[in-house]
Structure 1
Amino acid sequence: MSPEELREAKERFLLQLFEKTDGEISAQVSMYEVGTAITLEKDDAQKVAEELMADGLIEVRTLSGGIGITREGVEASDRKGAGGGSGARTLGDGPVIVPEKCEALDGVLCDLKARAGQLNLAFEPLSELVADFRTIDAQMASPNPKTPIVRACLESVRAVLQKAGDTEGLQKVQQMLGD
């Protein structure tokens, strides 16, 4: 397999894995099943899976070839338009955030929290960001997290990130908001 063929196979494999797992990081599927779906032989499917593991986009779940997609793999798949693109990773408009959306939101929040310290924010915007994160965390601890409350907090986070010039974090928030 040439480097170009490998690159294309990795992209098709990741998108197929995303589809087979519905983008759920807790789901598991056989690497060989994914490979067969995109017309790869067993050895090639294993090679592509190993490459994606090295990239941190998928992980081994069982010794018999069970794999799962990682949070980074879901994000990469979203960027490539999997599951309808950004629509698959939005809060939605219902009164309560459904479990699949909670998982996506959790991934975005983990990333934003890790980045917050690197934004060099003044005290007031940093305090606002922390308060918004705490409010979202409180909602996520509820069995029925309220979409309007989380949406309002994310809009506040978006405003802080815009002022801070954090385009990557801003993009993730806008994606969750459906913008």
Structure 2
Amino acid sequence: MMMDDQDPIQAERADVIRVQQLRWRFLLELYRMNKQAHAGTIQSVSAEEVGTRIGLLETRDLEQAYAYLADAGLVELVGFGPLLRITRTGIDEVEEAYARPDQRTDHLPPLNIIHNVIYGGVHGSTVQQGTTQSTQTVDNSQSVDWARLREILREVRTAAEDLPAEQRDEVLADVIALDAQSRSPRPKAAIVRECLTSLRSILGNLAGNTAGNIAAAPLIDWIRAHEWLLK
């Protein structure tokens, strides 16, 4: 009976997280597209183009995502299609989230939670809440050069803009989570390990990609110097 009572709640929670992820992915993609426009201008694009770039092809989900963002004043509908553009409020929202990924913005939940903490794990991993593995923290008695890692993550984030959309989103999700953990007084070992492993795998598979090469080398060197974090 207890399981029957809990299942609808878990299903609703999963749906809420999915909807919040879609809103964030849509806004982030619009932000990236705008950065590629001419300086000092805000680019108008079709909602369908944004949806295609992030793999959001279901019309109902797409409409709900941009309608919420428009109601919040983060995007503006400017023409049929619909055509829309990110507002200056939307730009500020994204940049605030990147600066403080573990804090809620005015309209959206924390980036590191939405991208990484789903059912207790990173990218839907099997790390469970309430277990020793999920609560284990990084032993700071061993030397961890968090400051250098944050420098590398900034480089990775910049290089990731030139990666294919799916890989870029994965990389940015890991970067956001790692940055938040590096600033935490009690970094979660499971999240750090999962993100480092994921980044090493993604970037290591991009040997022929210039952006991947630029991002991978310093990160792999850092991981080699901190190999014990992956154990």
| Superposition TM-score, scaled by structure 2 size | 0.33
| Superposition TM-score, scaled by structure 1 size | 0.42
Higher relative contact order (CA 8 A, sep 6+): 1
